[in-house]
Every structure is written in C-alpha cells, then in structure tokens.
Amino acid sequence: MVTSSAPGKVYLFGEHAVVYGEPAVPCAIERRASVTATRRDDEALRVDAGDLTLDGFTVEYSGGTDGRPDVDVEQPLLEAAMGYVNEAVEQARDATGRPEAGFDVHIDSAIPLGAGLGSSAAVVVAAIDAATRELGVTLDSEEIADRAYQVEHAVQDGEASRADTFCSAMGGAVRVEGDDCRRLEAVPNLPFVIGYDGGSGDTGALVSGVRGLRAEYDFAADTVEAIGDVVRRGEDALAAADLDELGRLMDFNHGLLSALGVSSRSLDAMVWAARDADARGAKLTGAGGGGCIVALDDTDGTETALRYTPGCEDAFRAELDTEGVRVEE
C-alpha cells in the first residue's frame, strides 16, 4: 500500500490563453489530494473517494473496472473523477510494463472538485505516483507530469494544457508555454486569499466556449493574446517582487477572462469584494464559470470581506506549496 499526495494550484495569470500557446503562471498551494493505491490479486480497479469537497460533505463512491459505478451516483463530478483515475492507472500500468496490475484506490482530497484549484490534476499526479510506487517503480516528477498531462488530454478530449499537471507534480510557481514548462525560482511570498462560491464550472464546455469565440471574432483572439501580454508583464513583476503591480495585472487578467465569458456573477462579486477590501488584485482562477477566485492581500481584510459576500461559501488563506508530488509515510 502506498499513499502519495500532490498539491492543488491557483493561476496567478494565464488560464485559457495557455491552451493556445500563450504563457501561464500557476502556483501550487498547500491544499493536497492524497491517493492510496493497494495492489489487488486480480486485474480489477476499485476506487473509493472519501471527502472530495471543501465543506466536509462526504460522498462514498465505488467504481467498477471499467469506470462505471457499481452504485448510482448523482454527482457527475465524481463520475468525472473516476474517468481521471482510470486513465491514471492506465499510465501507471504502461510506465511499469504491468498491464494486468489491479488496484484498490482511495482518494482523499482537500481540494474542491472542478472549482479552479486543480483538483483533477492533483488526483491524477498523486494516483500515478502511488500506483507506480506500489509496483516498485519510482518515476521522476517530470515523467509524472508528462503522463498526468496525457491523462488530462485524453479525458478532456484534447482540450488541456500542461499547466495544471506540471504545477501539481513540481510544486512552487511554474511557467508553462506550450511544451516548455519550468519552475520559477526566487518567487516572493505571495499572500493568496481564496474565495469559493461552493460551485464548479465545466472545464470542457468553458474551454470550447473560448475556442468558439476566438474562431469567430478577431477581437476575442486579440483578447487571448492580450492575456499573454499580461502574463509576460506579470513575470517581470514577479521577478521584481512588485506585489502592487502583480495585483493590477491580476485585475486586468480577470477583466480579459470576463470578456471571454468565463466569469460568473458569484466570481465577479467575490473579485469586487476583494478589491473593495483593498486587496492588491483579484481574479478568477482556473476554467471559471463558478468555483474560486484568488486575491493577493497580506492583511485580514479580504478574507473577512469575502465571508460577508453573498455567494461566497468559504474564504481561506493559501500558502504557496514549494513541494510537488510526494510519497506520504
């Protein structure tokens, strides 16, 4: 039996545009998904997911070998999680040359599903690490990142960048542009505050929505390119540890994402609450449509303001997690 964990992430800059080759800077946060893989005597895969949500609501889920539930589960997100785990186990079988290996897989995650904090990437990264180690093979973090990307690419019908999976496997702040992925060193302390509306967005639908706009309107394509410009300026601000400039650029990034139709009423309300509380900046994080915003604030103001914001279900501080995937003792 091996348990591995991997962090969730926020996007400081660049979600959606990264799908079209623009750079992005996601940052790992100290909220992890843990996956325990236990070798079975047969070839079956059984998955149970404990507490997959932020608010402690517990869902028991068991999936059969083909990923179809043995029991009726109304949570489509949990079914989606099953799809990711199936593909992750396939990657572990491939990496170890053990196509017949069966597993019991247990998932425990402190990252809300589909809320922009990289829950699926964290589960996939941790699952590949745990399942390969359980078969006696230790992959390096780059290979886990690459295999986890193959999983997201397959499950999301080709609509995925390397950003979420690379960030979760490596930890810290990373820069992703197409296939070029690297960790950013000497990153300043980033006082992240996260607001969560209790909901989630459909990443596939949101990504195809942006793809459609970009194909139809030149100005939407320009908006995607403008996000790339914001990211490049953001990298300079990060290197200069200029938090005020980072905040301004986050505000700008949110506006551009809104223009692309991926914000929502509750995300906008939380962004405005953070700005009213004098956060240095705020934006949605991840695919959007619902879920989380990230603000930069080193005071208690934003967290308190978010707690009083209608539509905000939870607000919390999140430290940058410099550690990526790791095996748990």
45: which DSSP letter? Answer: E
Q: For residue 175, give the 3-state DSSP assignment.
A: strand
Q: Which of 146, 164, 251, 321 is catalytic?
A: 164
**Annotated catalytic, 278?**
no
- Measured from the CB atom, the residue of 45 and 250 that comes closer to ligand MEV is 250
In sequence order, what are the residues at sequence separation of 6 or more whose Cβ sits closer than 8 angstroms to the Cβ of residue 213? 220, 260, 261
**Rounded to the nearest whole angstrom, what is the least distance from the CB of residue 166 to ligand MEV in the complex?**
10
Contact 237, 245 (CB under 8 A): yes
User: To which residue do tokens 């934003």 refer?
Assistant: 302
**Rounded to the nearest whole angstrom, what is the least distance from the CB of residue 116 to ligand MEV in the complex?**
6
- Binding interface with ligand MEV (CB under 6 A): 15-16, 18-19, 160-161, 163-164, 203, 207, 286-287
Cβ-in-10-Å burial (0-12, 13-18, 19+) of 217 comes to exposed
**Rounded to the nearest whole angstrom, what is the least distance from the CB of residue 164 to ligand MEV in the complex?**
5
**Rounded to the nearest whole angstrom, what is the least distance from the CB of residue 158 to ligand MEV in the complex?**
10
- Helix axis angle, 265-276 relative to 243-259, nearest 10°? 160
**Rounded to the nearest whole angstrom, what is the least distance from the CB of residue 18 to ligand MEV in the complex?**
5
- Measured from the CB atom, the residue of 176 and 273 that comes closer to ligand MEV is 176
Distance CA 8, CA 27 (A): 8
Strand-pair category, 180-183 with 103-109: unpaired
Distance CA 155, CA 160 (A): 9
Distance CA 309, CA 301 (A): 12
- Measured from the CB atom, the residue of 37 and 113 that comes closer to ligand MEV is 113
Reduced to 3 DSSP states, what percent helix, strand and coil does the chain have, rounded to the nearest 5? 40, 25, 35
- When CB distances to ligand MEV are compared, the closest residue is 161
- Measured from the CB atom, the residue of 4 and 203 that comes closer to ligand MEV is 203
- Measured from the CB atom, the residue of 146 and 303 that comes closer to ligand MEV is 146
Q: Which residues are catalytically annotated?
A: 164
